[in-house]
Amino acid sequence: MTDDPRWSLTLYVSGASPRSAEALETIRHLCDEELPGQVELEVVDVADDPALAARDRIVAVPTLVKRRPPPPRQLVGDLADLDRVRTELDLGPAPSPTSVPGSP
């Protein structure tokens, strides 16, 4: 087994803008709650590192870039919508909080 995380994500944000802050909160929640220990998440402020933004051809923020697992994707815009992010990342339906293994 490899120590490499299964997921590689880069979130491009613009400082502490409200949309960027919401996107960061949503993506961190997703990584911590649904993909713990499986994600390498890099957060890039485009004002601090414009070369990285240019590398991925980022034209709007917030943008989430998924490198692994394939296929690569870019999600742009409202990343505060967890259901939309899950769908775009092919994660399937959200886990049910009331589901307990072995219960009827």
Supply 28's token pair: 């961190």
pTM of the full structure: 0.84
Confidence of residue 92 (pLDDT cuts 50, 70, 90): confident
Please give the pLDDT value at position 91: 86
Supply 74's token pair: 């870019």
* d(C-alpha 101, C-alpha 104), whole Å: 9
Asked if the model's pLDDT at residue 93 lies above 80, the reply is: no
Asked if the model's pLDDT at residue 1 lies above 50, the reply is: no
* d(C-alpha 16, C-alpha 26), whole Å: 14
Confidence of residue 85 (pLDDT cuts 50, 70, 90): very high
Ordered structural domains, the chain, with CATH: 7-88 (3.40.30.10)
Supply 22's token pair: 């919401």
